[in-house]
Amino acid sequence: MQRARRPPHPQARPGLNRLPSRPRARPVCVSRPAAAPHADARADAPAAPRPLAASPPAHDDSDLIATLTRAGGGSLARGVLARLPTAAGEPPAARLLDLSEAYWTALRTKAPKKPAHVLTRAKGARLASPPDFDVAVVGGTLGLLLASSLQAAGHRVVIVERRLAVGRDQEWNACAADLGALVSARAVTRADVDAATVTACGPLRVAFHGDAFPCAARPLYLEGALDVGVSPRLLLASARRRFEAAGGVVLERAAFKSATIADDGVELTLAPSPAGAADAGDASRPAAVAGGARPPPPRTVTARLVVDAAGHWSPLAAQARGAEKPAGVCLVVGACYRQKKEAGDPAHSPSPATGDFLATHADASLAGGGVQWLWETFPADGGNARTAYQFAYIDATPDRPSLTEALDTFFESFPEATGDSLATVDIQRVLFGAFPQRHVSPLPPAIDRVLHVGDAAGAASPLSFGGFGAMLRALPRTAAGVSTALARDRLDTRALAPLAPYSPGAAASRLFAAAMRLHSGGGAAPVSHVNRLLASTFRVLALLGPWALTPFLGERLRPAPLAATMGGMALAAPASVARAVRSLGVAAVAAWTGHAMALAAYAAVALLLTPLAPILRRTRTGAALLAAVAAGAGADGPRGHRIAAAPAPTGA
């Protein structure tokens, strides 16, 4: 359904200068529609906001789409990419798409290859001299945040980055309440966080194809969920300044080649990475490929501990996982865009602060083996731009759509999904990637003195696709755990294992994502299956209110809200739940049940430890135990954080 263009919302501001020191909770106030609730919605469910005004006719972009498709040699996406400007030194977007396409094609059509052997454990051997550093962080994007935190704690840290240690232009969407973890971990200051938080988002819409609440005619609006946009470029620049001012060392264009683990440290072998070199891992950060020459790195660096923050393409994590095909893939495409300047208008038209937290605009497509496309849209650049994502949870099989085909679908659906015409917007960047979902996450240490974190460990957010949200939640606990391990000089796999703890809530969340994945070939589920499942889930969550919305959408599942939500879904939509169970299979459902029981066990242990907490916090071991149990129980969220239903924004 085409949405009417809305006037700028009062919350859309040129920027967000400061965040509140603590999150503010606003009362729930959801207006009741005049019409009677749909038969699919429970009579006692919260009333949806008033229906949208009648939408204008859909934008007719057919002529422009035909022109771009011809220019792209039969591909609409390629035609759009041909028009994108390329910054000096950056690889063209079309080249990055080719590299990403080759990676995705190999992932879905070829048997996994045995990865290169880059880590060697030399038992009985010792380094020729004391280690140069306490910690070597391989990967300087999210790794910068952990490195800055460790350097602030008094450790000697070096960052080994194969490109440039800079952030991308595309914003990270996060919950404002979670950003306090950056300050508590001493990665950056509160002023740094405020300066990097450039966009306020919300309320965000939830609406699924069909006529059951929440749908396009009767959407649900949320506040407190992914409510800010953070500039990676500004945040990581602040972290780097703080890191280097404290004595940290950044080695850029230094490619990790191998490492030998001795009894007293690790020797890393490095090689220069030439300017302009690019691969699929650079698709989301082309600016890291650009830039002038850098001094050649040293041939070797030694450290007591190696932290692998090299992302999905980490060769260190690949060796630990072996020839493993991913459990699933989140295929993501999208674009960041602005309204075109009008004649005589000195600036781009501002964009509303509202967007889509989660939306669909059609049932599943049988093309590509059966794919349900989901959408997210957010304001960006202080409300002066927008970012739109189209994504799907799928398996890596040969019949799945290519990235080019996914982008073609994105631009064809763009007018309906965003309410904007391709003819009236300037596409700033095009986004694409295949994010693997791992069988084991987080990846436990497989060799002494090597710890995997973030995307390298498979710790990624199912809502924001990458590792930023997961890193935020784990950063204080990981930094404290690494400091304790260094202080005790206990850096073997057994000592490091608690820093990659089993999280029953995260494991259960991954199975929820799997439930939105149609089996290759479509299976027995109808094309409306995912839409019905999502609509019933959010109806129940809206009925239960912030008590359930906050842990579910804040990615910190808790046992009581989980049980209430699952019970409510079984009562409200038994057919959809039964289809999801059949689709997942007995083994997956049994695994999910085990994770749910473990979540309850963690919560029970957390309750039993509550009286002992003041005593346990006096020691590093006790504090680490409390933090690990709280994280396992989903009780490690920021105090006062609240995700709730919100009134429909003015003009909706």
Q: Say what the pLDDT of residue 534 is.
A: 95
pLDDT tier for residue 139 given thresholds of 50, 70 and 90? very high
Under 8 Å between Cβ of 141 and 313: no
Burial of 455 (0-12, 13-18, 19+ CB in 10 A): buried
Under 8 Å between Cβ of 141 and 285: yes
DSSP 189: -
Query: Which of 49-58, 127-136, 272-281, 449-458 bottoms out in mean pLDDT, i.e. has the lowest?
Result: 49-58
- Average pLDDT over the chain reads 87
pLDDT tens profile 589-607? 999 999 999 999 999 999 9
Under 8 Å between Cβ of 308 and 450: yes
pLDDT tens profile 75-116? 999 999 999 988 888 899 999 999 999 999 999 999 999 999
Residue 326's contacts (CB-CB under 8 Å, 6 or more residues apart) are 107, 396, 436, 437, 438, 439
Residue 72's contacts (CB-CB under 8 Å, 6 or more residues apart) are 78, 79, 80, 81, 82
Strand-pair partners of 268: 259, 301
Q: Say what the pLDDT of residue 523 is.
A: 52
78 closest CA partner among 419, 410, 420:
410
pLDDT tens profile 474-527? 999 999 999 999 999 999 999 999 999 888 988 888 888 888 887 654 456 789
Number of Cβ within 10 Å of residue 300's Cβ equals 14
Q: What is the CATH T-level fold of the domain 62-111+199-228+326-437, as seen in this structure?
A: D-Amino Acid Oxidase; Chain A, domain 2 (3.30.9)
Q: For residues 232 and 335, what is the distance between their CA atoms, to the nearest angstrom?
A: 17
328-339/425-437 β-pairing:
antiparallel
Burial of 24 (0-12, 13-18, 19+ CB in 10 A): exposed
Number of Cβ within 10 Å of residue 304's Cβ equals 22
Q: Say what the pLDDT of residue 29 is.
A: 34
Q: Say what the pLDDT of residue 348 is.
A: 52
Q: Which residue has the tokens 């982008």?
A: 407
Query: Which of 39-43, 241-245, 552-556, 571-575 bottoms out in mean pLDDT, i.e. has the lowest?
Result: 39-43
Q: Which residue has the tokens 């960052």?
A: 159
Q: What CATH number was assigned to the domain covering residues 119-197+230-324+443-499?
A: 3.50.50.60
Q: And the tokens for 545? A: 């209110």
* Sheet bearing 374-380, strands edge to edge: 425-437, 328-339, 385-394, 374-380, 355-359, 204-207, 220-223, 644-645
Q: For residues 377 and 149, what is the distance between their CA atoms, to the nearest angstrom?
A: 32
Q: What residues does each domain of the chain span?
A: 62-111+199-228+326-437, 119-197+230-324+443-499, 504-645
Q: For residues 437 and 458, what is the distance between their CA atoms, to the nearest angstrom?
A: 7
What share of the chain in percent tops pLDDT 90? 68
Q: And the tokens for 121? A: 């454990």
Per residue in 574-584, is it b (16+ CB within 10 Å) or e — as a string?
eebbebbeebb
pLDDT tens profile 528-541? 999 999 999 999 99
651 closest CA partner among 40, 48, 52, 2:
52
DSSP 638: P
What share of the chain in percent tops pLDDT 70? 87
Contacts by 541-544, CB closer than 8 A, 24 or more apart = 541/565, 542/45, 542/46, 542/214, 542/220, 542/645, 543/42, 543/44, 543/45, 543/46, 543/568, 544/568
Q: And the tokens for 28? A: 């729930």
Residue 18's contacts (CB-CB under 8 Å, 6 or more residues apart) are 194
Under 8 Å between Cβ of 210 and 528: yes
pLDDT tier for residue 286 given thresholds of 50, 70 and 90? confident
600 closest CA partner among 473, 510, 511, 505:
505
Radius of gyration of the chain measured on its C-alpha atoms: 24
Q: Say what the pLDDT of residue 538 is.
A: 96
- Can you tell me whether residue 564 is helix, strand or coil? helix
433 closest CA partner among 171, 182, 107:
107
Q: For residues 336 and 428, what is the distance between their CA atoms, to the nearest angstrom?
A: 6
DSSP 142: T
pTM for this model (two decimals): 0.88
Q: Say what the pLDDT of residue 463 is.
A: 64
Query: Which of 26-30, 147-151, 293-297 bottoms out in mean pLDDT, i.e. has the lowest?
Result: 26-30
Half-sphere exposure of 67 (CA within 13 A, CB side): 7
Q: How far lies 376's CA from each of 17, 361, 410, 632, in Å?
A: 25, 11, 12, 28
Q: For residues 60 and 66, what is the distance between their CA atoms, to the nearest angstrom?
A: 11
353 closest CA partner among 2, 4, 16:
16
Under 8 Å between Cβ of 647 and 47: no
152 closest CA partner among 174, 134, 165:
134
What one-character-per-residue DSSP string does 495-557 give? HHGGGS---HHHHHHHHHHHHTPPPTT-TTS-TTHHHHHHHHHHHHHHHHTHHHHHHHHTT--
What one-character-per-residue DSSP string does 352-415 give? -S-EEEEE-SS--BSGGGSB--EEEEEEEGGGTEEEEEEEEEE---TTSPPHHHHHHHHHHHHH
Q: Say what the pLDDT of residue 48 is.
A: 37
Residue 195's contacts (CB-CB under 8 Å, 6 or more residues apart) are 234, 238
